Chains A and B, each alone.
Chain A
Amino acid sequence: MKTLKCAFFGITFILALLSAATAQSNGLTAGFAAANELYRHGNYTGAIAAYEHLRADGASGGGLYYNLANSYMKAGMVGKALVNYERARVIIPADSDVKANYAFAQNEAGTASFYRGEPFLWRWIDRFFDGISLNGLTVLLTVIWVVIAALAVCRLFFKDIRRVLGGFIVFTALCAVFCAAGLAHKVVWVKRGAVVIEKEAKVRFEPIPTATEYYTLSEGSPVLVLERNSGWYKVQRSDGKAGWVPQATMEMLNE
């Protein structure tokens, strides 16, 4: 009897979870479709509000960020569009529509990706892993690590082919290092990347409104956020120059 009662409550709990998930999914689908409808009718401001509402409810996905970015583009907010294209690129970097619109937005803003100004090696790594998502790269690195461990175990027990296995291990280890560098690169961008969303952002030497101006960032410029301090971000441009900007002029990718 006791067992039956436990089983009953267990099944009920699982069903409740499933139905909650389904309900959430249905709500998401309906909300997404409604936002698309607004976009189709040219109501870009409404579409922006609808997509942002979905985000605020905890939704995410490459398609959502892409559509939101398109809406911002149509509404003339290139900076907001670029930050959402960057979010979409983290999830679906190989998507041709995302690539095309991202390039278009960069062209409109007159900006380039952050790692353009980096040394050759980082630029090359950025370009090499451009079409692989963050999650994809993590899985790839995990697979490589498993392969290395398997080869190392085989090397212990198959003495005849030790040298060959040793060579393979070295090669896969190098691949792992390379992938790890690419993954680290992407993680840094996801955690600390930001885009200017105002027409221009004046970067100053100190987090004080009257501090000396260092340089100006235009809308859509990508930066890395190094620190936060009382409503200011310390940001670094792709050429390494760092300074302070008001937080309101930036939007971080992980916001």
Chain B
Amino acid sequence: MKLFRSFFIFICALLTVIPASAKDADFEITVNRNRLAVGQTLQMNLMFRDSQDIPAVDLSGIDGFQARYVGPSTNMTIVNGKMSSSVTHMYILSAVSAGNFTIGPLRFEHKGVRYVSNSVAVTVSDAAVAPPQSTDSSSGDAGLKLNDRVFVVMEIPKKKLYLNEVVPVTVRLFVNQASIRDVQYPEISHDGFSLGQFDKPKQYQDVVGGIRYEILEFSAEIFGLSTGDFKLGPAVLHCNLMIKKKSRRSFSGFADDFFDSSVFDDFFGRYESVPIVLKSTEIPVSVLQVPEEGKPSDFSGAMGEFRLEVVAGPGQVAVGDPVTVKAVVSGTGNFSSVVLPKFENRGDLKVYDPKVTQEPGAKTFEQIVMPLSDSVKEIPAISFSFFNTVTGQYETLRRGPFPISVLPQEKQQESRLIEAAGGGDRQVPAGKPETLGKDIVFIKESVSGVGPSRRYAYEDPIIWAVWIFVTLLYGILHGIYAWKKRLSTDTAFAGKLNAPKAARRGISAAQKYCSAGRQAEFFDAVFTTMQEYLGHKYHLPVKGLTFANVRPVLEAQHVPAEWLGIIREIFDACDMARYAPGRVSQDMVKDILKKLQDVVQYLEKQGNKI
């Protein structure tokens, strides 16, 4: 029984705990306008991140409005392999009564998860005094003027600064449903202040007053240069607003719909760029003098909130060995005025100038200190005073002194650093400190290289001859290469060159046959010579070349009829010798040979003239 009771209590406790452990999640509501009149509508979106299966929420209970569900819109993105999704439910709310209403926070539960939204303020005015509702969708939020859609805000964290105190100044450009391009860095009127350079701007979205804005944020630092009351700003920002041009109406209703669509507007660039200047409000700022009361004697003007860390080492050194003291000042504030007091040279302590390096949020001072006697027991303390702008009080941070052990001179051979010839330092035993002498290097004893005066190489004719020879040689080789290339690619040209050679060969062979009385071979040689010569010269097929097919070419070359007749005679004589060898005489052979030589000579001369 006892066991059953305990079990029952446990189950009851479990059941109460489970609902309490239901998860909570946020979702966001945004509206496209937050000022409207009775009877007008606004669009409200409910956006759920990392989920796509959230059903539409029942909004029937919203004061002052009638809600109508329009539909959902889902979105999925994959960035660096990570997938995220969201679903947005869209509603149209009609204002049924005038007044100031707050929509949300909306709450509902789905699959064990409680969803809670933000709230949005909406003002509904009477229909009689409501601003006219614009029907032009391109004007963005109906009821929101351009000033409410695009504006600049400048902010600083405090309006009372101390002299030299560094504070951040932020300028934000808010943009809602407008296209802004060519945004310039803001200019801030800053008389009495020193303004640093603006960092690269950040871009993000945020919901302000229930309206989602694209925000471009610029940050810089300022500090006051003199005490008094000043006005910082306004921040002025130049940019270009893209405005849709009024499109031309054509006579055809269909064409209107077709050509007036936004697709074509975007495609054909029917937006125009209008430069605008946005200004923020001024911010009154007072720059105060740091209080004199309680100012430490070593205060050098450092303003902010700082920490000091100091390390000195090595802890055991010999006389004359360096000890490095590294002090790091970190925090927030005006680092340009952070100065640490230097150690001073003493009889037993040699000090070198500190090396100062600065990085964002920290400034490092490295100073070398050299004990000159074994009586030195410690490196003196370092103190740093600053004015804490948060607490409004002076603070002094003190670190050290730093104990060190300095070995006496007798127990440690003195050494000194000298610069070796190859760079790098060597420790060598040293005697008395020395001063190196300086003088010129001795003369050259050897007479080599000394001789009668000669001209310089660039004046030497041999060098110029080499240059000219090499250039000419390349020119010749290039010419030969170009010539050979032309002969191999330009067959007409090659043929023209080969024609006289072929003619000379043929005439020589014909002469031999003529002298030997071999008429058949003679006329064969003459015929072949005529074919090869005329074929190569006029770029005609050699095989099968006859007077009939070469005549038009010769006439085109303005060969006189007389010479055409001679060429025809030669061809006819060759035909006759082939078909009626009995009618050929030796006189005829000699005559044909002479005519062949004359024809070749004449055509060559004519070719050169042309």
Is A181 close to B, CB under 8 A? no
Smallest distance from the beta carbon of A149 to chain B beta carbons, Å?
Answer: 4
Q: Mark A84-97, 1 if CB is under 8 A from B, else 0.
A: 00000001100001
The interface-forming segment of B207-215, B267-275, B455-463 is B455-463
Q: Among B442, B454, B463, which residue has its beta carbon within 8 angstroms of that of A138?
A: B463
Known interface pairs A139-B457, A142-B466; A97-B450 also in contact (CB < 8 Å): no
How many Å lie between the Cα of A112 and that of B18 in the bound state? Answer: 89
Q: Mark B437-448, 1 if CB is under 8 A from A, else 0.
A: 011111111111
Question: Which residues in A have their C-beta under 8 angstroms from that of B458?
Answer: 134-135, 138, 183, 187
Is B264 close to A, CB under 8 A? no
How many Å lie between the Cα of A126 and that of B473 in the bound state? Answer: 33
User: Which residues between 478 and 523 of chain B lie within 8 Å of chain A, taking CB atoms?
Assistant: 478, 481
B457 pairs with A135, CB closer than 8 A:
yes
Question: Which residues in B have their C-beta under 8 angstroms from that of A28?
Answer: 447, 450-452
B440 pairs with A190, CB closer than 8 A:
no
B453 pairs with A60, CB closer than 8 A:
yes
Is A152 close to B, CB under 8 A? yes
Known interface pairs A73-B440, A101-B440, A101-B441; A60-B478 also in contact (CB < 8 Å): no
Smallest distance from the beta carbon of B449 to chain A beta carbons, Å?
Answer: 5
How many Å lie between the Cα of A28 and that of B448 in the bound state? Answer: 11
How many Å lie between the Cα of A67 and that of B456 in the bound state? Answer: 21
How many Å lie between the Cα of A97 and that of B444 in the bound state? Answer: 9
Smallest distance from the beta carbon of B484 to chain A beta carbons, Å?
Answer: 10
A92 pairs with B470, CB closer than 8 A:
no
Known interface pairs A39-B443, A70-B443, A104-B440; A145-B449 also in contact (CB < 8 Å): no
Question: Which residues in B have their C-beta under 8 angstroms from that of A138?
Answer: 456-458, 463
Question: Which residues in A have their C-beta under 8 angstroms from that of B452?
Answer: 24, 28, 58-60
The interface-forming segment of A29-37, A204-212, A242-250 is A29-37
- A contact patch SS: helix
Smallest distance from the beta carbon of B476 to chain A beta carbons, Å?
Answer: 10
Q: Among A63, A101, A105, A149, which residue has its beta carbon within 8 angstroms of that of B449?
A: A63
Question: Which residues in B have their C-beta under 8 angstroms from that of A153?
Answer: 474, 477-478
Question: Which residues in A have their C-beta under 8 angstroms from that of B443?
Answer: 36, 39, 66-67, 70-71
Known interface pairs A134-B456, A142-B466, A190-B456; A61-B451 also in contact (CB < 8 Å): yes
Q: Mark A139-175, 1 if CB is under 8 A from B, else 0.
A: 1001001100100110011000000000000000000
How many Å lie between the Cα of A240 and that of B407 in the bound state? Answer: 60
How many Å lie between the Cα of A231 and that of B447 in the bound state? Answer: 36
Is B147 close to A, CB under 8 A? no
A36 pairs with B463, CB closer than 8 A:
no
Is B471 close to A, CB under 8 A? yes
How big is chain B's contact interface, by range?
20 to 34
B482 closest partner in A (C-beta): A156
How many Å lie between the Cα of A234 and that of B208 in the bound state? Answer: 76
Known interface pairs A28-B451, A62-B449, A104-B438; A156-B444 also in contact (CB < 8 Å): no
Q: Among B438, B444, B478, which residue has its beta carbon within 8 angstroms of that of A66?
A: B444
Smallest distance from the beta carbon of B189 to chain A beta carbons, Å?
Answer: 40
Max chain A CB contacts within 10 Å: which of B450, B453, B471, B481? B450
User: Which residues between 209 and 249 of chain B lie within 8 Å of chain A, taking CB atoms?
Assistant: none
Q: Mark B329-360, 1 if CB is under 8 A from A, else 0.
A: 00000000000000000000000000000000
Is B8 close to A, CB under 8 A? no
Is B467 close to A, CB under 8 A? yes
User: Which residues between 82 and 126 of chain A lie within 8 Å of chain B, taking CB atoms?
Assistant: 91-92, 97, 100-101, 104-105
User: Which residues between 5 and 38 of chain A lie within 8 Å of chain B, taking CB atoms?
Assistant: 24-25, 28-29, 32-33, 36
A156 pairs with B450, CB closer than 8 A:
no
A149 pairs with B466, CB closer than 8 A:
no
Max chain B CB contacts within 10 Å: which of A24, A104, A134, A149? A149
Is A64 close to B, CB under 8 A? yes
A149 pairs with B470, CB closer than 8 A:
yes
How many Å lie between the Cα of A97 and that of B445 in the bound state? Answer: 13
How many Å lie between the Cα of A183 and that of B442 in the bound state? Answer: 30
How many Å lie between the Cα of A149 and that of B466 in the bound state? Answer: 12
How many Å lie between the Cα of A39 and that of B440 in the bound state? Answer: 13
Question: Which residues in B have their C-beta under 8 angstroms from that of A33?
Answer: 447
B449 pairs with A156, CB closer than 8 A:
no
B448 pairs with A63, CB closer than 8 A:
yes
Smallest distance from the beta carbon of B228 to chain A beta carbons, Å?
Answer: 48
B441 pairs with A64, CB closer than 8 A:
no
Max chain A CB contacts within 10 Å: which of B449, B454, B481? B449
Question: Which residues in A have their C-beta under 8 angstroms from that of B448?
Answer: 63
Question: Which residues in B have their C-beta under 8 angstroms from that of A64?
Answer: 450
Question: Which residues in B have their C-beta under 8 angstroms from that of A63?
Answer: 444, 446-450
Known interface pairs A39-B443, A97-B441, A156-B478; A59-B450 also in contact (CB < 8 Å): yes
How many Å lie between the Cα of A190 and that of B456 in the bound state? Answer: 10
Known interface pairs A61-B451, A62-B449; A152-B474 also in contact (CB < 8 Å): yes
Question: Which residues in B have their C-beta under 8 angstroms from that of A59?
Answer: 450-453
Q: Among B439, B444, B477, B478, which residue has its beta carbon within 8 angstroms of that of A67?
A: B444
Question: Which residues in A have their C-beta under 8 angstroms from that of B449?
Answer: 61-63, 91-92
A25 closest partner in B (C-beta): B451
Question: Which residues in B have their C-beta under 8 angstroms from that of A67?
Answer: 443-444
Smallest distance from the beta carbon of A141 to chain B beta carbons, Å?
Answer: 9
A58 pairs with B453, CB closer than 8 A:
yes
A32 closest partner in B (C-beta): B447
Smallest distance from the beta carbon of A212 to chain B beta carbons, Å?
Answer: 38
In the A-B complex, the 4 residue pairs with the smallest Cβ-Cβ separation, listed nearest first, are A61-B450, A138-B457, A135-B457, A60-B453
Q: A60-B453, A104-B438 are in contact. List 14 more A-B contacts (CB 8 A).
A: A28-B451, A29-B447, A32-B450, A59-B450, A60-B451, A63-B448, A66-B443, A73-B440, A101-B441, A142-B466, A145-B467, A153-B474, A153-B477, A156-B478
Can you spell out 15 A-B residue pairs with CB atoms less than 8 angstroms apart? A24-B452, A28-B447, A28-B452, A32-B450, A58-B453, A59-B451, A59-B452, A60-B454, A63-B449, A70-B443, A97-B442, A104-B439, A142-B466, A142-B467, A156-B477
Q: Footprint of A on B, CB under 8 Å?
A: 438-454, 456-458, 463, 466-467, 470-471, 473-474, 477-478, 481
Q: Footprint of B on A, CB under 8 Å?
A: 24-25, 28-29, 32-33, 36, 39, 54, 58-64, 66-67, 70-71, 73-74, 91-92, 97, 100-101, 104-105, 134-135, 138-139, 142, 145-146, 149, 152-153, 156-157, 183, 187, 190
